Structures are given as C-alpha cells and as structure tokens.
C-alpha cells in the first residue's frame, strides 16, 4: 500500500565532476539514477520524476541533467537530487539551508584519506563543504546504516523518519539562487485533497496538480507547494513514482562519461 514518505532534496550544482567525487568518494553514496536533457527545460523532459528543480521555477535554456545519489534505492532511502544546468558555474547561497549532518565514521575516514578539508566543530563532529558551498557535518560514529539530518533556516530539521522541528530565528529568510526543493510522496488519491486544503487555507501553490507523462513508463501526478517562508515542497503520487525511481545500474558510468565531457565543453564545469 502506498504511504506518505520523504523522497529527496534537490541541490543545484555548478561543478558536476567535483560534486560527484564528493558524494561518492567522500560521503560514500552511490548513483541511483540520472538523466541528460537538451533544449529548453520542460516538465515533460524526464524519464525519472518528470520534473527537475528548475522545471517550473527558473527559465534556464539549454542542456541540463540531474543525478540521484544516496545510500540505497529511493524506495526506502532518502536521497539527494543533483541538478546541473550547463553553463551555470555557481549559485549564490542564501541563509535558508544550514547543512546536512551525516552520521558515518566511514565518511570521516574517506575525507581524511582524500585530504578533503575538515574542521572539527565539536567532539567527533567535523564540518566540511560540498562543491558549491553546501555545508556538511560528519559525525565520526558508526550506525547500522548512515543517518542523515537536513537542517533548514525555515527553520525545520528533517530526520530520516521525517521528524520536523520548528525553531525561531531573527531576520528574514533569504533563498538567493541556490534554493532547493524537498520532495515527498503520498497515495495518488490524496493529492487532490492536499491541493484543495492549500486552497482553503489560502496557502501558495506553485504548480497546480498536473499529470506528467513519461513514454513507456508510468504517468506521475505532481503538485508543488510553498510554505510561508517560500520553501518549495513537492508531492508526487507514490504508486507511479516507485516505478520511475528504480535504480539504474549504469547510472554511475553515465555520470562519469558526461562529467568528463562537460569539463571540456564548459569552462565552469
């Protein structure tokens, strides 16, 4: 039976080669799936989720790609979606994303071995950065499987079981250009009710409920909302999404191939 579950968080990246190295070689994540697309970004240009971080919110023209990385399949793991727009070398960071805390002694060991910069900010906790400036906090401890905690200045904290904690802050939330999107799934039949609830409560709907067709695969329904501070929240129909989010065994090789090519065709890659 379909259930409500957290899926992924979207990051915009400007250096795909170094970003892939960080997530795979330092953090120890694996490529789950990927997509290359040419031409104007469109909600219909996808064989994975049907949308990208920028499909509805930014008018980027040109080639783009996205890569899903994580510690396991998105069916039962929270993953990261890395969106790369060709020709965009960097994005201005706002104050809306604090960082990701990852409990993994292996990640700490990997960073030391590869001489990736680490700064100890507390006993057994090391601060580092992914390419582009996104903060990561690596806890030097072992768990049955790596534990991920995302912190936002909404602020909300997201734990692997979708635990949300609200905290007060001073000043306004500034998303700048690097803002991301968190995605959840729920039974498809619940999406219309979710949209109706947002309308009744006079909340912002960024993309009304839409069906996205993928030739030869499932048609997924999507609605994209905004919280009061402007964070984007995407809900997709769980049943169809499970088919679209299957692991691609060639994903890592494809990422390596396009990353090498992009280092030659783009001065920012």
Kindly state the tokens that stand for 75: 């069916």
Residue 269's pLDDT band, with cuts at 50, 70 and 90, is very low
Residue 162's pLDDT band, with cuts at 50, 70 and 90, is very low
Whether the per-residue pLDDT at 130 is higher than 60: the answer is: yes
With H, G, I as helix, E, B as strand and everything else as coil, classify residue 19.
helix
pLDDT tens-digit map of 205-242:
999 999 987 767 788 999 999 999 898 999 999 999 99
Round the CA-based radius of gyration of the chain to a whole number and report it.
Answer: 18
Look up the CATH number of the domain holding residue 85.
3.10.180.10
32, 23 contact by CB (below 8 A): no
Please tell me the pTM assigned to this model: 0.80
Q: Is 125 inside a domain boundary?
A: yes
d(CA 153, CA 169): 8
Q: Is 52 inside a domain boundary?
A: no
d(CA 57, CA 74): 24
Domains identified in the chain, total number: 1
Kindly state the tokens that stand for 173: 């939330």
Higher per-residue pLDDT: 128 or 46 = 128
Residue 170's pLDDT band, with cuts at 50, 70 and 90, is confident
Question: What pLDDT does residue 64 have?
Answer: 80
pLDDT tens-digit map of 27-74:
999 988 877 775 433 333 443 333 343 443 444 456 788 888 988 888
Maximum CA extent, the chain: 54
d(CA 38, CA 64): 7
With H, G, I as helix, E, B as strand and everything else as coil, classify residue 171.
coil
Query: How large is the average pLDDT for residues 108-114?
Result: 97
DSSP alpha helix (H) spans, the chain: 16-21, 105-113, 191-200, 238-244, 251-265
d(CA 130, CA 232): 22
Q: Is the dihedral of CA 99, 56, 92, 261 positive or negative?
A: positive
Categorise residue 78: left if φ over 0, alpha if ψ from -120 to 50, beta otherwise: beta
131, 19 contact by CB (below 8 A): yes
Whether the per-residue pLDDT at 183 is higher than 70: the answer is: yes
Phi, psi of 248 (to 5 degrees): -100, 110
Please list, in sequence order, all residues whose beta carbon lies within 8 angstroms of the beta carbon of residue 172, skipping any fewer than 6 positions away.
none
d(CA 105, CA 107): 5
Range of the structural domain that residue 210 is part of: 5-40+59-257
Which residues pair with residue 70 across a beta bridge? 30
* Range from 48-62, 107-121, 240-254 that averages highest in pLDDT: 107-121
Q: Is 49 inside a domain boundary?
A: no
Q: Is 54 inside a domain boundary?
A: no
Q: Is 262 inside a domain boundary?
A: no
Query: In 212-249, which positions are buried (b, 16+ CB within 10 angstroms) versus exposed (e)?
Result: bebeeeeebbbbbbbeeeebbebbbbbbbbbebbebbe
Residue 249's pLDDT band, with cuts at 50, 70 and 90, is confident
d(CA 147, CA 24): 16
Q: Is 47 inside a domain boundary?
A: no
Query: How large is the average pLDDT for residues 157-162?
Result: 38
């Amino acid at each position: 039976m379909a259930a409500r579950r957290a899926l992924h968080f979207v990051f915009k990246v400007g250096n795909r080669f170094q970003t892939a190295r960080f997530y795979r070689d330092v953090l120890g994540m694996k490529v789950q799936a990927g997509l290359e697309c040419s031409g104007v970004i469109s909600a219909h240009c996808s064989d994975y989720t049907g949308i990208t971080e920028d499909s509805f919110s930014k008018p980027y023209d040109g080639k783009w790609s996205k890569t899903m990385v994580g510690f396991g399949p998105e069916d039962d793991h929270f993953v990261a979606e890395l969106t790369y727009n060709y020709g965009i070398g960097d994005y201005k960071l706002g104050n809306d994303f604090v960082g990701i805390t990852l409990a993994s002694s292996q990640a700490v060991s990997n960073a030391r071995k590869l001489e990736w910069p680490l700064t100890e900010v507390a006993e057994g906790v090391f601060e580092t950065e992914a390419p582009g400036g996104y903060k990561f906090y690596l806890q030097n401890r072992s768990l049955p499987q790596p534990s991920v905690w995302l912190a936002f200045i909404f602020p909300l904290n997201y734990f692997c079981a979708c635990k949300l904690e609200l905290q007060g802050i001073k000043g306004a939330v500034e998303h700048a250009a690097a803002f991301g999107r968190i995605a959840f799934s729920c039974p498809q039949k619940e999406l219309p009710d979710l949209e109706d609830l947002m309308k009744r409560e006079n909340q912002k709907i960024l993309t009304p409920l839409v069906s996205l067709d993928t030739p030869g695969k499932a048609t997924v329904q999507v609605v994209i909302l905004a919280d009061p501070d402007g964070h984007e929240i995407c809900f997709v129909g769980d049943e169809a999404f499970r088919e679209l989010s299957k692991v691609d065994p060639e994903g890592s090789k494809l990422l390596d191939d396009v990353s090498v090519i992009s280092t030659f065709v783009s001065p920012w890659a």
